[in-house]
């Protein structure tokens, strides 16, 4: 059985969502012989017509007609990876939703499963597009939630929003925190056997925010855990930082997933500055957890979300802590995070997607 996965972009473009879809395609094929054809929703994307064993077609333009032409002769099962801004500059992909509505109307026994990586944006600043277009983004998400045979998402906040938007259509919305796009080691060494290295990983904007907003906390983490090196992984931030409190910063630039995995597996801690209420959708947090690292946060989010607890799954820095001599607590946090991750790793998620996709097919066929 074949399916189509609709994504904004795939490699060689640097896109976490594309990496997510490609990793999922590999697992679906290896575990269930479910083969993916990719449909690219960004007309500006450039790449090959095939990646590994997966065929790729791209829209010539972002239009309903272009989308329908991609879906016309393909399987009747579509898995859409939805992020509004991935398919339209202002986050309002009218062409995508209208195209899927027409496809559903004209295709007997069609099955649309939508993974909402985001739902819609909202903003309080009148000079931002999200301030003016939030209503339209919400409307498109509502139409898509009602249109989809099944919906999934990456965190509980989104699941609750989708439940309300679907107005009774989606009664069960599985929540699947994202998996690591840079590998999942089967075994991880204890912290005390690792290099005293602190990693900052992710897009330039995410790392730049961490340096600008959390320099004090990064310094504190380095003192607390006797860090000897800070490793900056990803495209350059252009901040030209060479050291923090005498601890050298080594910029690696962009690396292959296997190289990143090797580094993470041999690093003590990973630092992040992220919106903690959406931590389950962070690929950075997923990568740190999957590699058994101690994840360090500059702040705490007291409400429990997606089974993630401060002080249990990530270390929260405190001004009261100036030194640490016993690493039992740090190891416990790293171990809890690793265990939490295994409940939704790539293999588990492939099983969940198959359940959603094939379960709905079986229901329709009786």
Name residues whose C-beta falls within 8 Å of residue 127's C-beta, 6 or more positions apart in sequence: none
Number of domains in the chain: 2
Do 294 and 217 belong together in one domain?
Answer: yes
- 18: domain CATH number? 3.40.50.2000
C-beta contacts of 89-93 below 8 A and 24+ residues apart? 90/129, 90/133, 91/120, 91/121, 91/129, 91/130, 91/133, 91/137, 92/133, 92/136, 92/137, 92/140, 93/41, 93/62, 93/140
Those residues of the chain that have pLDDT short of 70 are 74-75, 122-132, 319-325, 359-366
pLDDT of residue 127: 43
Do 10 and 95 belong together in one domain?
Answer: yes
Do 264 and 328 belong together in one domain?
Answer: yes
Q: Report how far residue 107's alpha carbon sits from residue 94's, in angstroms, rounded to the nearest whole number.
A: 20
Phi, psi of 95 (to 5 degrees): -60, -35
Do 122 and 35 belong together in one domain?
Answer: yes
Do 314 and 360 belong together in one domain?
Answer: no
Say if pTM beats, i.e. exceeds, 0.75: yes
Is 97 within 8 Å of 90 (Cβ atoms)? no
Do 30 and 166 belong together in one domain?
Answer: yes
pLDDT in tens, 112-146: 999 999 998 765 545 456 555 778 889 999 999 99
Range of 278's domain? 191-342
pLDDT of residue 359: 67
Do 203 and 147 belong together in one domain?
Answer: no
């Amino acid at each position: 059985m074949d399916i189509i996965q609709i994504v904004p972009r795939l490699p060689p473009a640097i896109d976490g969502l594309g990496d997510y879809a490609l990793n999922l395609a590999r697992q679906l094929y290896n575990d269930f012989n479910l083969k993916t054809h990719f449909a690219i929703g960004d007309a500006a994307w450039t790449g090959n017509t095939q990646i590994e064993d997966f065929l790729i077609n791209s829209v010539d333009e972002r239009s309903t007609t272009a989308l329908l032409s991609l879906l016309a002769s393909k399987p009747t099962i579509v898995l859409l990876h939805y992020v509004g801004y991935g398919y339209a500059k202002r986050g309002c992909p009218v062409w995508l939703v209208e195209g899927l509505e027409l496809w559903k109307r004209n295709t007997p026994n069609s099955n649309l499963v939508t993974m909402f990586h985001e739902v819609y944006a909202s903003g309080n600043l009148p000079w931002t597009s999200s301030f003016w277009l939030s209503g339209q983004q919400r409307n498109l998400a509502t139409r898509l939630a009602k249109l989809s045979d099944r919906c999934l998402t990456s965190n509980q906040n989104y699941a609750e929003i989708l439940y309300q938007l679907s107005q009774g259509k989606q009664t069960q919305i599985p929540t699947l925190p994202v998996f690591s796009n840079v590998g999942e080691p089967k075994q991880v060494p204890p912290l005390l056997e690792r290099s005293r290295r602190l990693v900052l990983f992710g897009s330039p904007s995410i790392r730049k925010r961490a340096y600008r907003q959390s320099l004090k906390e990064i310094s504190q983490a380095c003192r607390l855990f006797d860090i000897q090196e800070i490793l900056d992984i990803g495209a350059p931030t252009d901040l030209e930082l060479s050291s923090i409190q005498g601890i050298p910063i080594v910029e690696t630039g962009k690396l292959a997933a296997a190289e990143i995995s090797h580094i993470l597996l041999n690093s003590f801690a990973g630092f992040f500055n992220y919106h903690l209420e959406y931590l389950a959708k962070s690929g950075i947090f997923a990568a740190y957890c999957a590699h058994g690292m101690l994840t360090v946060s500059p702040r705490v989010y007291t409400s429990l979300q997606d089974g993630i607890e401060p002080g249990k799954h990530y270390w929260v820095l405190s001004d009261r802590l100036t030194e640490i001599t016993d690493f039992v607590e740090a190891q416990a946090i790293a171990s809890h995070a690793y265990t939490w991750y295994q409940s939704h790793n790539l293999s588990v998620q492939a099983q969940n997607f198959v359940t959603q996709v094939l379960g709905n097919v079986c229901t329709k066929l009786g």
